[in-house]
Amino acid sequence: MNTLRPSHTVGLSHQLAWAARTVEAVAKGRSLTDALPRVPPPLRPGVQALVFDALRHRGLTMTLVRGLTQRAPAPTVHALLCVALGLLLEDDASADRPSYAPHTVVDQAVVAVPLLKQPPPVAGFVNACLRRFQRDRVTRLTQARQTDVARWNHPAWWVQRLREDHPTHWQSILAANQRPAPMVLRVNRRLARRDDYLGRLRSEGLQAQAWGEDGVVLETPVAVERLPGWAQGEVSVQDGAAQLAAGLLLGDGPVPRRILDACAAPGGKTAHLLECCDAEVLALDKDPLRTERIRDNLRRLGLRAEVRAADAGAPDTWWDGRPFDAILLDAPCTASGIVRRHPDVRWLRRPEDVEQLAAQQRRLLEALWPLLAPGGRLLYCTCSVFQAEGERQVEAFLRRHPQARRLPAPGHLLPPADRLQEAPATGEAIGDNASRGTDGFFYALLHKPA
C-alpha cells in the first residue's frame, strides 16, 4: 500500500468529513476495500491517509472519546472525534503520519460538522472535546493507555491471542503493525533482469534495493504508473513474504508438469510461478469477480494459465481426475499478518472468525490432498500470524495423515521478520524501509510419498 498524505490543496475539513464517514463505515463492519472507493477521487488520497492513521490509533482514540464525553456521541460524531484526536497525538508523530498544527485540526474538525449534516450544537461539542484534550493531554493519555486496547491499538482478544501464540514476539508484532509497510516489487524474470531494472528505477530518480531472487524494495512508495515497464508487465507489486511461495513450491528438482493454485486471486503467486517455470497451471478462485483480476494480471504480464471460478474445496465440481504434481494452497484466513497494509482488518475481525476460518482451511487441505500425485508437494500458506491458522493447523493435518512428510519451510514469519532483513540472494544489508521486514505469513511444505 502506498504511503499517502492529506492534500493541502483541498480543505482539510472536507477530508476530515469523508474520513469520518469512512471510519464510521469500518465501525459498522464495512472493509476499506469497499468504503474508500465511495470517496470522491480528488479527495481519496488524502482521505486514505487520514483513515489509515485513524485506524492505526483507533484503540487509543476510542478510549479518549469515552473519557472526554459524558455519553456516547452519535456514530458519525464519534468517528470525527477519533480522526481528529488521531491527528492531535503529537507524541506519536513520525515521517509516515499526517501532520497539522493542533489549532488547524480543531478548527477544521468544527468546520467539518455541517458537512456531515450534524446540527449546529454538535460543532460546539466537538470544539469543547478537542480543546479539553489539548488542555489535559498528558494526563488523559497516561490514563487511557492503562488498557491493552489503547496501548496497542488492537482489540483485547487479538492482543491476548498473540501473547499466547508468540510469547517472546507479541509486542514486536503489535508495534510493527503500527508502521506502514514498504512497497515491494517483483521483477518479471521473463522480461527483465532485476539488476537492470534497479538501474532503470534509479535513472527515474527512484531509490530501491534488491530483495531475494526477484524482489525490489522502494525507498519511497509511488503510484504504479510511475514504475518503468509497469504497463509492459515487467514488474508487479508483491510483498517479500508472498514472493517466497514460488521458490518453495518449485524447489530445486524437476519442474512440475501440472500445478494447481487453489485460491489464486488476485493472481500474484500464479504469475510468479509462471514467470519461474514452464508448467500447466490451473488457477482457481471461488469468486467470479476475483477471477477476472487474475486474468487481468496475467494479461498485463504476458502470461497464460487456465483460470476458473470454482470452490477448491469441492473438487467434484471442477477436477478432471488428473493429479497435480504441485499444489499451492494460499488459504482464506484472518489476514492478521497484513495489518500494516490493511489497518481495518484488526477492527473487522471477531474472535470466532479465527476458528471459523481454521475450519475452512482444514476443509481445503482435506479436499486437495487426494488430488496431489505421489511424489508431489503441497505448499500450505496463510497471511496470518495466528497459530490456529498456521503451525497448529499443519500439526493436526500431519496427525490425520501420518504418511505425509514435512519439508523445510519458514513456518511463521512474524513482522518485523528479523531473519529476512537481509537480502537472501546477496546477504547484503538493505535500507531502513526494507528493514521493516516482510508481512506476517506462514509456510508449510508437505510431501506425498511416491
Residue 183's pLDDT band (cuts 50, 70, 90): very high
pLDDT at 44: 95
Select the more confidently predicted residue: 100 or 319: 319
pLDDT at 438: 87
pLDDT at 422: 38
The model's pLDDT over 13-34, given as tens digits with 9 standing for 90+, comes to: 999 999 999 999 999 999 999 9
End-to-end CA separation in angstroms for the chain:
43
pLDDT at 99: 82
Of 211, 128, 179, 186, residue with least CA distance to 340? 179
pLDDT at 415: 78
Q: Across residues 200-210, what is the average pLDDT?
A: 96
User: What cell numbers appear for 292 in the block?
Assistant: 477476472
Of 1, 259, 235, 7, residue with least CA distance to 108? 7
CB atoms within 10 A of CB 135: 9
How far is residue 324's CA from residue 403's CA, in Å, rounded to a whole number? 18
pLDDT at 2: 40
The torsion angles phi and psi of 228, rounded to 5 degrees, stand at: -60, 135
Q: Show the domains of the chain with their CATH numbers.
A: 12-153 (1.10.940.10), 240-447 (3.40.50.150)
The model's pLDDT over 49-77, given as tens digits with 9 standing for 90+, comes to: 999 999 999 999 999 999 999 999 999 99
For 371, residues 6+ apart whose C-beta sits below 8 A from its C-beta are 260, 315, 319, 323, 324, 327
Residues of the chain above pLDDT 70, percent: 92
Residues of the chain above pLDDT 90, percent: 88
Answer yes or no: is pLDDT of 354 > 70: yes
The model's pLDDT over 226-266, given as tens digits with 9 standing for 90+, comes to: 999 999 999 999 999 999 999 999 998 899 999 999 999 99
List the catalytic residue out of 263, 333, 381, 383. 383
pLDDT at 96: 64
Q: What is the pTM of this model?
A: 0.91
Residue 82 annotated as catalytic: no
